[in-house]
Amino acid sequence: MTAPPDDCLARNDWICGAYLSTRREILADAVVEHVQLTFVSVALGLLIAVPLALAARRWNRIAGPVLGITTLLYTIPALALFSLLLPVYGLSATLVVAGLVLYSLTLLVRNLLAGLRAVPEETRQAALGLGHGRLRLLLAVELPLALPAAMAGLRIATVSAVSLVTIGAIVGHGGLGNLIWSGMNTYFKAQVLTASVLCVLIAVAADLLLLGAQRLLTPWTRQGRSG
């Protein structure tokens, strides 16, 4: 008996409205987990990257080792990295977060350090001459001027994390990656395509949000371009 012409699930079509309507809750849960894993990973990576970049900026002798170690971590294949972390974190969401944090450090530390190093020395000296202490110099002068480079790294790290979360499906915590993985195993076309498109939409939305935040936080860059 053949499937009715409007039964896209039975026909296993790539594009299927019935899949969206009947799996709404499953898709919503997967999107929420995907966003949570991405946000937590990048936020923790940023918390670690900022002091590392500041230390590398202040003590130049440790800049090489810091950049070298974070770059080395980025070269480890995701499956291998997750396997190395498995004895510590087990089959948990924490395993995925830990792996993504390590991957994000390369992009975050390198871009933040580049931004700090790009602050002109005469600007620092002028701020010190106006009575700025080291902390005020950092918060009021150096970090704001380093923000464009730091935000560029944050945007790349976030988009990378969105894609790498899907690999967490191997431990059952991959957000939309779980649906992609199971859909590929059963050749469920609508599930694979829908979850993949949602992944892309999350990455695009995150990048646009961060771009908007960057423009709000660095209005002088827009003025420079318009001039």
Fold type of domain 8-222: MetI-like fold (1.10.3720)
Label residue 1 by pLDDT band (50, 70, 90): very low
pLDDT in tens, 37-78: 999 999 999 999 999 998 888 888 888 888 898 888 888 888
What's the mean pLDDT when you consider all of the chain? Answer: 85
Amino acid at position 92, single letter: S
pLDDT band at 218 (very low <50, low <70, confident <90, very high): confident
Amino acid 56: pLDDT: 87
Q: Tell me what the mean pLDDT of segment 29-33 comes to.
A: 94
Contact 182, 226 (CB under 8 A): no
Is pLDDT of 144 > 60? yes
What does the pLDDT look like over 159-211, one tens digit per residue? 999 999 998 888 888 889 999 999 888 888 889 999 999 999 999 999 999 99
Between CA 83 and CA 10 the distance in angstroms is 38
pLDDT class for 156, splitting at 50, 70, 90? very high
Say what the pTM is: 0.83
Distance CA 177, CA 104 (A): 19
Identify the pLDDT of residue 38: 94
Distances in Å between the alpha carbon of 46 and those of 40, 96, 168? 10, 16, 21
6 pLDDT exceeds 70? no
Q: Where are the domains of the chain?
A: 8-222
Q: How many CB atoms lie within 10 A of CB 54?
A: 16
115 band by pLDDT with thresholds 50, 70 and 90: confident
Q: Which residue has the higher pLDDT, 122 or 216?
A: 216
Task: Indicate if the pLDDT at residue 226 is higher than 60.
Answer: no
Cα dihedral value 212, 213, 218, 220, nearest 10 = 30
Distance in angstroms (rounded) separating the CA atoms of residues 61 and 145: 23
